Structure 1
Amino acid sequence: MQNILDLIAYVSREYQQPIEYKKFDIRAKCESPGLDYDAYISSGGPGSPIDSAGAEWESVYFGLMEDIQHYNESHPDQKKHVLLICHSFQIYCRYYGYGHVSKRRSTSFGVMPVHKTREGAHDPLLNTLADPFWAVDSRDYQITQPDDEKIHERGGAVLCVEKYRPHVVLERAVMAIRFDEAFVGMQFHPEAESQGMRMYLLSDEKKNLVMGKYGEAKYQDMLNQLTDPDKISLTNQTVVPRFLALALRHRLQAVSL
């Protein structure tokens, strides 16, 4: 959450415009922001994106999502933008049937390559990143079997998928979907920053997790990638700032993407 707040402050400084924000705890307190904001960032977990189906907070959450979508349909020139991250992306896909949400055979955690689709290569949030680009992945669940027809009917597309593993005979999980001009969801954590992730990886728990699954060489490689300005740092400074700039372009001056 702090990373998101830091990026809001960064965009505010970059465009020399104040950005007001407020945090809402929908899951624990059923708090809803209503339609009073221009942009909405729905954060990651923890928790199962499957077991919460039917919970009271989900009713509040998806009521908000419906309200935003209806607002956008009636205000096409001033849409409210939504960024769904990790757990939020998973429950959104599950609820609307955009893909199959399931528990992974094992946890995916670390600095991972993310591969863009043809549509992802041209998406305004991703088009300046390399292919593959690098992002922080932390998940016990995944989205597979995207309903391309349903996604395309809404004007969206799958933007990227997880790394190619030739030795694994399993479908590659979806890593991002643009549902329409204003709604986009990402499985990875675009807000993650290098220093915090490095401290996280150096903890005994995460070090043992990564080394146990990928080996020491891969663990050291992840640490080295965190010092590369063209990897996690670039993703951090690109995706969320561009989302905010697009969402607030009618308020921010001289937005150039």
Structure 2
Amino acid sequence: MITDKPEVKVAILDLYDGIANEGMRGFQDILKRYREKHQLNLSYGIFDVRKKCEVPEYDDFDIYIVSGGPGSPIDSEGSEWEKKYFNLVDKLEDHNLSNAVQKKYAFFVCHSFQLMCRKYGLGDINLRRSPSFGVLPVHLTADGRNYQVFDGMTDPFYTVDSRSWQVINPNNKRFDELGMKLLAIEKERPHVDLPRAMMAIRFNEYFISTQFHPEADAQGMKSWLSKEEKKKEVVNEHGLDKYTEMLERLDDPDKIAHTQATIIPNFLDQAVMSLQEA
């Protein structure tokens, strides 16, 4: 795009380990729409962190988006890719704590949310009794209702949840020590005597993360779920009624379409405004 506006550079860190997914397309679609809407000189690069051990230099980009991904957020501890990834996170944090005028913003999704919770010791990470998959409600906390990234969202709001692992039992002492805020929690399940997972956290002024998928696109998800093998997998795991409910919720413009059009764009508003002011 030809524009006289300063360049905004975004790094998308791919944690899918080579597994086919809708998430990476969702991030790119959001960035392209945002670029067109605001007529920005915005570019992005993609880094295959787990499969190829690719990590950018911390000062090469202004904004970082880190994807979800498959597998255990515990078993990767000590792996080469994770060491490089956390080294990048540490450098971004050090940069933001310095007197640098232009700060680095980051958004972490699902698997990367779980990795960051492990890094900071924010709660218990465990395997769910059964995978959570569907278009599900998420409830905002008092801090979440007052946080700019969730402006325009209802309480509860609906989003795509797709995870076998979870972070539960917030360590309130660590939250207080680190100045972090719990912004959203899992849907209420009064018939199930289990703790509710943490679903969104503000790590600091520049880092936010969600355990759900705000990048999910309704049409893309519907196309994906319509594939015979995926339909069979979901029906076998969750039943036909759940599968039908998912498709109906994907058709509702106030649910997934609204979430995708709101949360990450709100984050980008915050980050881009800060860059322009700097």
- The answer to whether TM tops 0.5 is yes
Cα shift at 1:21: 1.1
Query: For residues 173 and 36 of structure 2, what CA distance do their matches in structure 1 show?
Result: 41
Runs of 4+ in 1 over 6 A off after TM superposition: none
1:100 to 2:124 alignment: yes
User: What are the within-5 Å matches in structure 2 for residues 1-257 of structure 1?
Assistant: 1-34=24-57, 35-75=59-99, 77-251=101-275
Quick check: 191-200 or 205-214, which moved more? 205-214
User: How much identity, in percent, do the aligned residues show?
Assistant: 47
Contact 1:110 1:210 in 2 (8 A): no
Quick check: 89-98 or 136-145, which moved more? 89-98
- Are residues 79 and 89 of structure 1, via their aligned partners in 2, closer, same or farther at CA, if it must alter by over 3 Å? same
Cα shift at 1:155: 2.5
Give secondary structure in 1 for the equivalent of 2:27.
helix
Cα shift at 1:47: 2.0
Query: For residues 112 and 209 of structure 1, what CA distance do their matches in structure 2 show?
Result: 18
Count of residue correspondences: 253
Quick check: 140-149 or 72-81, which moved more? 72-81
TM-score w.r.t. the length of structure 1 is 0.93
Structure 2 portions without partners, runs of 5+: 1-23
Quick check: 62-71 or 204-213, which moved more? 204-213
Cα shift at 1:244: 1.5
Query: For residues 222 and 26 of structure 1, what CA distance do their matches in structure 2 show?
Result: 31
Contact 2:103 2:275 in 1 (8 A): no
Query: For residues 88 and 185 of structure 2, what CA distance do their matches in structure 1 show?
Result: 28
Q: Deviations over 1:119-146 (max 9, x none)?
A: 1111111131011100001101000012
Letter in 2 for 1:171: P
What RMSD, in angstroms, separates the aligned Cα atoms of the two structures? 1.7
Contact 1:114 1:133 in 2 (8 A): yes
